[in-house]
Amino acid sequence: MTTETIEKALRVLRREIHKWKVPAVAVVADQASDRPFETLVSTILSLRTKDAVTEQASRRLLFHAPTPEALAALPLRTIERLIYPVGFYRTKARNLKATSRILLRDHGGKVPRTIEALLALPGVGRKTANLVVTVGFGDYGICVDTHVHRISNRWGYVRTQTPQKTEFALRAKLPRKRWKTYNDLLVTFGQNLCLPVSPWCTRCPVAGFCERRGVLRHR
């Protein structure tokens, strides 16, 4: 897939995206009073967790703790109870409480705006950091999760082995104007149509652009 072709594919997906349910992190961010903080919290909760669970847990926790001050003050057991049953909820509860304390101590109670500073927070990897930068702040970044990694390789746009390698390959190749929206488009597409196993190729609006790399079975 060439740069010209991916531009066409992304334009098609932007027209189609309204038909599908958008990722939970985007739903939370769109209704947030503190978009960077609430994006950070919901993204941490989303790791290895289904979207429906992420959205509900994010709403419960943020209702009780809408600021770093409030979250840092919550007992650990209360955080665990509020976010259950997200995956690894005990670890995430510890990380969220520790992160809130760091935000208060080192950043004036605000979420930092750079990838480097975000990566220093407990439980924050490159996916989370990039999502906070793009969704939380509206800055340029490329968030790569399993959907973005899979589809970018399935299309034949990159040939990489890990999400981190995909991120850097996309940074070198994807037009910068597409960086902010690339994750939202591909995650929504990947959750609803371009599934990991047996994707819906017969229903796919961009099937004509796809090389179907690694697709062994489709519908």
Alpha carbons 135 and 153: distance in angstroms, whole number = 23
Whether 21 is catalytic: no
Mark whether 132 and 146 lie in a shared domain: no
Mark whether 126 and 157 lie in a shared domain: no
Q: Is residue 163 within a helix (H) or strand (E), and if so which, with residue range? A: helix 163-173
pLDDT at site 3: 86
pLDDT at site 1: 84
**Number of domains comprising the chain:** 2
Amino acid at site 58: S
Mark whether 34 and 122 lie in a shared domain: yes
Alpha carbons 176 and 15: distance in angstroms, whole number = 20
Nearest to 10 by CA among 144, 178, 176: 178
Residue 219 falls within a domain, yes or no? no
Mark whether 130 and 149 lie in a shared domain: no
Among 92, 97, 145, 180, which one carries the catalytic annotation?
Answer: 145
Alpha carbons 35 and 28: distance in angstroms, whole number = 8
Write the CATH number for 199. 1.10.1670.10
Query: Is the torsion defined by CA of 137, 138, 140, 146 positive or negative?
Result: positive
Mark whether 111 and 177 lie in a shared domain: no
Query: What's the domain range around 189?
Result: 3-20+141-209
Mark whether 30 and 127 lie in a shared domain: yes
Among 97, 127, 180, 184, which one carries the catalytic annotation?
Answer: 127
Write the CATH number for 28. 1.10.340.30
Mark whether 44 and 90 lie in a shared domain: yes
Amino acid at site 153: N
pLDDT in tens, the chain (219 residues): 888 999 999 999 999 988 888 888 988 988 888 999 999 999 999 988 999 999 999 999 999 999 999 999 999 999 999 999 999 999 999 999 999 999 999 999 999 999 999 999 999 999 999 999 999 999 999 999 999 999 999 999 999 999 999 999 999 999 999 999 999 999 999 999 999 999 999 999 999 999 999 999 999
At which of 94, 112, 136 does a domain end?
136
Distances (CA, A) of 72 to 1, 76, 109, 189: 47, 9, 10, 36
Residues in the chain: 219
Mark whether 15 and 97 lie in a shared domain: no
Mark whether 59 and 96 lie in a shared domain: yes
pLDDT at site 136: 94
**In sequence order, what E strands does 111-170 have?**
none
Angle at 213 between CA 210 and CA 217, to 5 degrees: 95
Whether 92 is catalytic: no
DSSP, collapsed to helix, strand or coil, labels residue 202 as helix
Residue 67 falls within a domain, yes or no? yes
pTM as predicted: 0.90
pLDDT at site 33: 84
At which of 136, 159, 178 does a domain end?
136
Nearest to 11 by CA among 150, 142, 178, 153: 178
**In sequence order, what E strands does 49-182 have?**
none
Mark whether 41 and 132 lie in a shared domain: yes
